[in-house]
Amino acid sequence: MSTHLVILPGDGIGPEIVGATLTVLRHVDARFSLDLNYETHEIGLATLHRDGTTLPPVVLEAVQRSDGVILGPVSHLDYPPAEQGGVNPSGILRTHFDLYANIRPARSREGMTILRHPMDLVIVRENTEGFYADRNMAVGTGEFMPTPDMALAVRKVTTEACRRIARTAFELARTRRRHVTAVHKQNVLRISDALFLREVRAVAADYRDVTLDDALVDAMTAHLVRDPSRYDVIVTTNMFGDILSDEASELAGSLGLGAALNAGDNRAVAQAQHGSAPDIAGQDRANPTALLLSAAMLLRWLGGRRSGAFVAAADAIEAAVETSLATPAERTPDLGGPLGTRAFAAVVAGRIAAVR
């Protein structure tokens, strides 16, 4: 059965790292007979100038027909207001297709981290509500200004969203070290984070084989630096998860290592944690590792719905990337290495092709 992927290159370094990812995907496709096919659409600044919107309706239609998506970074800070066509494609995809789980692994590697203790954890971030103003209102945004001197923001936390992100975290923990930590700020957000914790604890009752504890978000930022080895799966709300996962990836060595998968019940989007880095766009300097590992996460997700060949392909990408990261002469400039974007992808692809 053919697997149809929609490719959205995005802005800045997006086309470069997406191109590198496609190079590797073509090699794993040939190696594991995945029968992948691709449909590419422009989004972001390219379509804003051409079509008057950063996310044309044809893209949503294509994603609806797809089995998965590879999404490059977007420069949404440079977009005009939404009413002028500058919607955030990433946020719209998450809400429109109910991609409620943002899954972000972080693992330290020898010689690439400042940490004294090893880190191997996954942050499971609620993806559709919280403090994010573009995804918590039916009409308008969650930010408004009653007067020119006053700005207000609304945070949305619902029982349903808390339950399903908690269940995602506990299911993932069962495949790892069976430990979930709920991160919150209940001492200040006494209603909304109390609701989050209540639902996480209720879900925990169905997972007696998994240990649950919790931590305040400010304390967690310190614990990740001091001793991240004590954590396995961290579950938290939208904004806290965004901040903590960036911290964890940087502690691991670089945001260029930060893989992520936006997953719902029926669809998933591979998307690197980092931004579009327009200052190095077009220079063949971008590190494609994060998107390569995100694509591997997408293949693994598909493997749970299709065949073990997708899981084997994901394993092959991850193994090839790890071998290159362990070899200083094969790293990209952000990690102190000499290889450009295309050369790094070629090395990874070559390792996959050589596997017998």
Share of the chain above pLDDT 90, in %: 90
What is the pLDDT at residue 211? 98
Is pLDDT at 22 greater than 90 in this prediction? Answer: yes
What is the pLDDT at residue 177? 98
Q: Which residues are catalytic?
A: 132, 185, 218, 242, 246
pTM greater than 0.85:
yes
State the Cα–Cα distance between residues 212 and 200, nearest whole angstrom. Answer: 9
What is the pLDDT at residue 1? 79
Mean pLDDT of the residues in the chain: 95
Pairing of strands 233-236, 120-126: parallel
- Name the residue with higher pLDDT: 293 or 140: 293
State the Cα–Cα distance between residues 342 and 21, nearest whole angstrom. Answer: 10
Tens digit of pLDDT for each residue in 96-148?
Answer: 999 999 999 999 998 888 898 999 999 999 999 998 888 788 888 889 999 99
Q: Where along the chain do its domains lie?
A: 1-104+254-356, 113-252
Q: Is the Cβ–Cβ distance between 324 and 257 less than 8 Å?
A: no
Q: Which of 42-56, 103-117, 188-202, 264-278 has the lowest mean pLDDT?
A: 103-117
Q: Which fold has domain 113-252?
A: Isopropylmalate Dehydrogenase (3.40.718)
What is the pLDDT at residue 133? 83
Is pLDDT at 353 greater than 80 in this prediction? Answer: no
What is the pLDDT at residue 194? 97
Question: Class of the 1-104+254-356 domain?
Answer: alpha beta
> Does 1-104+254-356 match 113-252 in CATH topology?
yes
Strand partners, 102: 125, 262
The H or E element spanning position 143 is strand 143-147
Residue closest to 188 by CA, chosen among 164, 219, 159: 219
| Residues near 226 by beta carbon (within 8 Å), at least 6 away in sequence | 117
Tens digit of pLDDT for each residue in 298-313?
Answer: 999 999 888 999 999 9
Is pLDDT at 355 greater than 70 in this prediction? Answer: no
Tens digit of pLDDT for each residue in 218-240?
Answer: 999 999 999 999 999 999 999 99
